[in-house]
């Protein structure tokens, strides 16, 4: 059986591929953007099964199907909340919430094998389902933090970046104040709109509006400058540079 993974986060794609290999399945190729997927599918036969992330670095997955006809079965992989994905269950399309549990993965593959015809959807059905799901996603617009005995609300429009330091996670606002957050960077990354925020490395998630300058840096990386905040760690890691450039555009 031929399997293709379409996932913009390369570590997540590799992790899924390893889990599939442990279950005895081989991944044919891993694709990381709408553009890359369209190019590959236009030149290759449809695989038996596609593991498809909803939100890719350069757009929503359904944009792939605007440009090319694909008849493969689909299993969605997504960080979105389960209740935003009821449409998938109603249409007999399976999905896996990130981080992917091996048992859930095994069950999804079994379901695919047992109900292969039901898991194959037309292009129009796929567009309708993905549109309905993306419209129902509610990203956070603010975070609540504790400052001494005070409870403070921080609007995301006022955030420069989120960062981790000394085992803590902090919110840095446009006025250069830092607030300790109860949430980890991984949790925050899943809760905020990826059109506005990008995780440039393990330590930083930055807001698009905060970027003043971008410079070429050593080892094919990029250096980010904010207006009133300097940090040696505001570096786009090498494996994220391509996705970061697509995000900017």
Q: Is the pLDDT of residue 87 over 60?
A: no
Q: What is the dihedral of CA 13, 15, 17, 23, to 10 degrees?
A: -150
**CA-based angle 142:184:106, to the nearest 5?**
110
Greatest mean pLDDT range, 97-106, 172-181, 189-198: 172-181
pLDDT band at 116 (very low <50, low <70, confident <90, very high): low
* Mean pLDDT computed over 157-167: 93
Q: Is the pLDDT of residue 43 over 70?
A: yes
Domains observed in the chain: 3-135 (3.40.50.2300), 150-248 (2.40.50.40)
Alpha carbons 98 and 56: distance in angstroms, whole number: 14
pLDDT band at 95 (very low <50, low <70, confident <90, very high): low
Regarding pTM above 0.85, the answer is no
Q: Is the pLDDT of residue 15 over 80?
A: yes
Closest CA to 85 of 135, 124, 127, 141: 135
**Predicted pLDDT of residue 124:** 55
Q: Tell me: the pLDDT tens digits for 52-71?
A: 888 888 887 878 877 888 87
Q: Is the pLDDT of residue 220 over 80?
A: yes
């Amino acid at each position: 059986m031929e399997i293709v993974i379409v996932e913009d986060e390369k570590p997540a794609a590799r992790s899924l591929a390893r889990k599939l290999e442990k279950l005895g399945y081989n991944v044919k190729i891993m694709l990381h953007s709408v553009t890359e997927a369209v190019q590959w599918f236009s030149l290759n036969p449809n695989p038996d099964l596609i593991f498809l992330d909803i939100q890719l670095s350069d757009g929503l997955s359904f944009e792939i199907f605007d440009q090319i006809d694909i008849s493969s079965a689909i299993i969605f992989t997504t960080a979105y909340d389960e209740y935003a994905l009821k449409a998938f269950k109603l249409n007999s399309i399976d999905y896996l919430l990130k981080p992917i549990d091996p048992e859930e993965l095994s069950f999804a593959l079994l379901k695919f094998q047992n109900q292969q015809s039901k898991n194959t959807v037309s292009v129009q059905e796929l567009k309708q389902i993905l549109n309905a799901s993306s419209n129902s996603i509610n990203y956070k617009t603010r975070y609540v933090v504790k400052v001494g005995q005070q409870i403070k609300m921080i609007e995301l429009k006022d955030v420069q970046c989120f960062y981790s330091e000394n085992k803590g996670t902090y919110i840095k606002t446009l006025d250069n104040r830092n607030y300790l957050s109860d949430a980890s960077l991984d949790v925050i990354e899943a809760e905020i709109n990826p059109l506005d925020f990008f995780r440039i490395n393990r330590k930083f998630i930055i807001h698009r509006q905060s970027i003043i300058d971008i410079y070429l840096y050593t080892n094919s990386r990029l250096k980010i400058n904010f207006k009133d905040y300097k940090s040696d760690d505001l570096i786009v890691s090498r494996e994220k540079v391509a996705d970061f450039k697509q995000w900017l555009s």
